[in-house]
Amino acid sequence: MNILAPLALLLAPLLPATAFAAASPPAKPPTSPAPPVATTPSDTDLYEIGKALFDAYAPPEVKSQYEFVTREQWDGLLAGLQTALTTGSFAELAGYEQQVRNTLDAARATPGAEDFADWLARQLDQIEAAKEAAQPPAPPPKPLPGEKPPPAAAAPVVPLYDLWLRRLHGRPAPARAAELMPGLKAIFAAEGLPASLAWLAEVESGLNPSARSPAGARGLYQFMPATAHDLGLSTFMPDDRTDPTKSAHASAQLLRRLHAKFGSWPLALAAYNVGEGRVSRTLESHHAKTFAEIADLLPAETRLYVPKVLATLTVREGVALGALAAPEKTPGTK
């Protein structure tokens, strides 16, 4: 068995030797292989195994260019990035661009780190979008003498949707799409949801069934252990989250429940990302009814996530914003 496969994520937390010195992040900023283990290793174990694999497998030219970061540096990068995603501004999130870009370059140069590189690439995509979103809008052109000023633009139904539409335009679908998407779409349709929503897996995992985040989410639809258990998925030997069929059914069922509670797809997607409790409390405390009304009150990650999902459906399936159908009242009926 290839030991690199089950430990592909978080196996190569590398940075160029000068990465931390050269970057300007926010104040909060990262022998032989170990034998396989029967239980899921802790983050500390993964870091140590990653270092052992780097020592054992990285080519000499990679070792001459990169050094394995210390545990403190790696924890600092992960903690800082997570803080920026959950409580920071777009500008604070954008401040991690160079560190994440350097780490991604190193991961791509290290054998066995493909899943980790995929995760970093998704974070970089968010960071680049946050950097663009943080820029002040260009002022409208001044009207010519005698001209009436143009009417003020209406507030967007989903903020940042147009930004993601520009970013995703022309981006090819993940390599696994041809293999996985027909089955995933069929499952979502069987659960009474628009089949196009199965593309949520591209945003969550890049359509990688073995994807894993440092926070512990796994699979195509990136379920945390507690959420997986609530949806009837096992997380231990085997981990049902990595099963495309089981995880797709669970994701569709969760989305169906969230839409029934919130009555709109933008709010349902926000709850899928940040939790239904957070969305419910924010709506209630601000007497709001739409995602646009509360978007600025949600974490940066969620503000980026909702428009990215909806723009992905537009690019992949031609589903216009606002045209995504509600779930069927009874799965399997029209």
Q: Among all residues, which ones are annotated catalytic?
A: 204
User: What angle (nearest 5°) sits at the alpha carbon of residue 126, between those of residues 65 and 301?
Assistant: 130
Please state, as a whole number, how many other Cβ atoms lie within 10 Å of the Cβ of residue 74: 22
Reference 75, options 65, 63, 83; nearest CA is 83
User: How far is 33 from 4, CA to CA, in rounded Å?
Assistant: 9
Amino acid at position 127, single letter: I
CB atoms within 10 A of CB 2: 9
3-class DSSP state for residue 15?
strand
Complete DSSP assignment for 217-257:
-BTTTTB-HHHHHHTT--BSSSBGGG-HHHHHHHHHHHHHH
**In this structure, what DSSP letter does residue 212 have?**
B
